């Protein structure tokens, strides 16, 4: 058993609350254990300059952590975004664009904003998982307003962390586990079981192909459970 009494193959408790913020077209609070992220989707009726006249839309993301989200105060990005946050928001944007037919979206941009209000590991994976639900609601808003006639979302997307801690392959690492992991990996997959992105690092020592295969199987199991959680909340009125 792990420090929070989970089996190695268990996710942390997952809770997704839709319509969490009043103004955006889509918004959720996603909670995975003690990690909490607000994900919003805002529609803008224009596209970046490189897409003007193309008939194609765009999805982009921003990510940040509030000052009180970690054990020690995290400074606000008043001097520009840090490298870690930039890498994470690019990951979120890539993950969501990969499941959307941007031509069907039309020449408009959907801004995904992921704000971590409490961090305990897995903030980037929780952001992707929650952002999908916010995006789904934003797209539904466009359909209901007859701004688009075809749903451009081709499949779902979710993400989860896996790793090896003290020789044990485990799913959905909290911060304390992540800080001790000698292999740390983030996996982004569609609901159909296809990979979008795999980020894996041997922090202290290398890992072999058999360990990689077992970690990917574990991630696939976690993604399936997260996809079911997304579907359950999206089925609510």
Sheet architecture: strand order including 109-118: 14-18, 26-32, 35-44, 109-118, 58-65
Q: Which pLDDT belongs to residue 83?
A: 85
Number of domains in the chain: 1
Residue 39 to residue 117: CA distance in whole angstroms? 11
Give the mean model confidence (pLDDT) for residues 117-139: 97
Per-residue pLDDT for 113 more than 90? Answer: yes
pLDDT computed for residue 159 by the predictor:
98
Nearest Cα neighbor of 38 from 69, 79, 74, 80 is 69
What is the predicted pLDDT for the residue at 99? 98
Helix (H), strand (E) at residue 137: helix 123-144
**Could you tell me if residue 112 is inside a domain?**
yes
Q: What's the pLDDT at 8?
A: 96
In a domain, 207, yes or no: yes
* Window from 77-91, 100-114, 193-207 with minimum mean pLDDT: 77-91
pTM of the model: 0.95
Is 5 part of any domain? no
Is residue 9 assigned to a domain?
A: no
pLDDT of residue 71: 85
Residue 146 maps to which CATH number? 3.30.230.70
| Among the ranges given (1-10, 11-20, 151-160, 211-220), the one the predictor scored with the smallest mean pLDDT | 1-10
123 assigned binding-site residue: yes
88: pLDDT strictly greater than 80: yes
* 8 part of a folded domain: no
Residue listed under structure tokens 């696939």:
220
- Exposure string for 24-54, b = 16+ CB within 10 A, e = fewer: bbbbbbbbbbebbbbbbbbbeeebeeeeeee
The per-residue pLDDT for range 19-77, each reduced to its tens digit, is 999 999 999 999 999 999 999 999 999 999 999 999 999 999 999 988 889 888 888 77
Q: Is 84 annotated as a binding residue?
A: yes
Domain of 94 in residue numbering reads as 14-234
Q: Decide if 99 is inside a domain.
A: yes
- What value does the CA radius of gyration of the chain take, rounded to a whole number of Å? 18
9 is in an annotated binding site: no
pLDDT score of 114 more than 80:
yes
* Structure tokens belonging to residue 28: 């959720």
Q: Is residue 6 part of a domain?
A: no
Residue 15 DSSP SS3: strand
């Amino acid at each position: 058993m792990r420090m929070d009494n989970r089996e190695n193959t268990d996710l942390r408790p997952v809770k997704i609350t839709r319509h969490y913020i009043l103004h955006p077209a889509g918004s959720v609070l996603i909670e995975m254990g003690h990690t909490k992220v607000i994900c919003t989707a805002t529609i803008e009726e224009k596209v970046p300059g490189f897409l003007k006249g193309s008939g194609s839309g765009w999805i982009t993301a921003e990510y940040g952590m509030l000052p009180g989200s970690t054990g020690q105060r995290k400074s606000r990005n008043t001097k520009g975004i840090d490298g870690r946050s930039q890498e994470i928001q690019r990951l979120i944007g890539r993950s969501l664009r990969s499941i959307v037919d941007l031509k069907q979206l039309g020449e408009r941009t959907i801004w995904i904003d992921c704000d971590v209000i409490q961090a305990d590991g897995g903030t980037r994976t929780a952001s992707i998982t929650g952002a999908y639900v916010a995006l789904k609601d934003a797209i539904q808003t466009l359909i209901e307003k007859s701004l688009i006639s075809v749903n451009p979302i081709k499949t779902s997307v979710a993400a989860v962390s896996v790793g090896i801690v003290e020789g044990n392959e485990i799913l959905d690492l909290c911060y304390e586990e992540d800080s001790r992991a000698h292999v740390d990996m983030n996996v982004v997959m569609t609901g159909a079981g296809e990979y979008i992105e795999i980020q894996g690092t041997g922090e202290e020592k290398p890992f072999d192909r058999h360990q990689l295969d077992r970690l990917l199987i574990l991630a696939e199991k976690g993604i399936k459970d997260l996809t079911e959680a997304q579907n359950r909340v999206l089925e609510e009125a």
